[in-house]
Amino acid sequence: MSEIAICSVSFGCYEYLDLNWKLTDTLNPAASITWLIADNAIGSSESKMPVKDERFNIYEGGQKGDLGANWHHAQALMMLLDHVNSRFVLVLDPDFYVIRKNWVEDMVSHMKHENLTFLGAPWHPAAYKKIRYFPSPHFVLIDIENLDIKDLNFLPGNDVLGRRWKKLVARYDHHVDITGRLKIGQTKDTGYRLKERFSRKRDIHIECLQAVFKYNRSKISNYIDHFVSDRFSFRPKKCGYTTHATFSEAGFPFDPYGKGWEEFMWLGEPFGFHVRRYPKRKRGMYDADTDIQFIHSMLNMLKVS
């Protein structure tokens, strides 16, 4: 039996966590899973977490200050790590859903066999400003036997371009293809410190899920990508990092990609998808009820009650 702790931060996400628990429990009948939830909206109208839910260990989240939502989220994640008692810990967004049967057992066995410390979903390539080639805090399974859990620092940093790049961005800000390339991989978001600390260590082994990514930029951008380094290419150049094949093209009866959600493959099969509510919510386009209904339909298909 595989034993893991799942750490997740909620800010009005109870419906998503409820569905995620049902899906995870159904697909992993032999796994021993402890859910640790930080409620970052305790005491506010945004909080939808119940006072008590026996499925979850619920803790008060981080203190919201002037440093922004990412800092608030990361602070809560790190508080949850103090309550982890298992060898494997999964940092999971409430709206990241895994659809593979027995994925807990499969991933833990794979990590032990390959001596992996980190296994997870990278920031999606469409979010080109984010770091590449390292698991993001949306879904990352960590073997803490290979490191000190106190070294897991999820705090974001300041996004700082060099003085030379700042001048170029200011001068050519109207030209997205130029300014965008300067910003590729430069956002120091939640999780970037993990890459900075662990990605170059020879005794730390890392594996990423494969992002479903269909390049949709102009022909000129595509042409430029062929001649510039990975640092300035909108298309990640590491072999096998992305795939064109969507879940529906691989035979899955639903189409998360068609809804604008991020899909991830593992070992050549559909693995999980990320709802990605924040970008739509930021633009005032988010419809939670529609998304919840879609996820319910998918769970019914998977016989999740």
**pLDDT for the residue numbered 132:** 96
Q: In what order do the strands lie in the sheet with 3-10?
A: 56-60, 32-39, 3-10, 88-92, 135-143, 118-122, 206-208
Q: For residues 256-261, give the mean pLDDT.
A: 90
Say what percent of the chain tops pLDDT 70. 84
**pLDDT for the residue numbered 292:** 85
**pLDDT for the residue numbered 64:** 66
Q: Are strands 118-122 and 206-208 parallel, antiparallel or unpaired?
A: parallel
Q: Which of 21, 4, 22, 7 is nearest to 58 (CA)?
A: 7
Output the six-digit token pair for 8: 């997740």
Output the six-digit token pair for 4: 């893991």
Q: How far are the Cα atoms of 140, 247, 263, 278 from residue 285, in angstroms, in the given order?
A: 28, 24, 20, 10
111: amino acid identity, one letter: M
188: amino acid identity, one letter: K
**pLDDT for the residue numbered 102:** 96
Q: For residues 57-65, give the mean pLDDT.
A: 78
pLDDT at 152 over 90: yes
50: amino acid identity, one letter: P
Q: Are strands 3-10 and 88-92 parallel, antiparallel or unpaired?
A: parallel
Mean pLDDT check: name the lowest of 18-27, 189-198, 215-224: 215-224
8 A C-beta contact, residue 199 and residue 126? no
pLDDT at 223 over 60: yes
Report residue 285's pLDDT band, with 50, 70 and 90 as the boundaries.
Answer: low
Output the six-digit token pair for 133: 């080639």
Q: Are strands 262-266 and 242-243 parallel, antiparallel or unpaired?
A: unpaired
Average pLDDT, the chain: 86
Who contacts 30 (Cβ-Cβ below 8 Å, separation ≥6)?
A: 1, 2, 102, 105
Q: For residues 147-152, give the mean pLDDT.
A: 94
Q: For residues 272-285, give the mean pLDDT.
A: 63
**pLDDT for the residue numbered 280:** 45
pLDDT at 159 over 80: no
CA 57 centroid distance within chain:
21
Q: For 264, phi and psi rounded to 5 degrees?
A: -135, 135
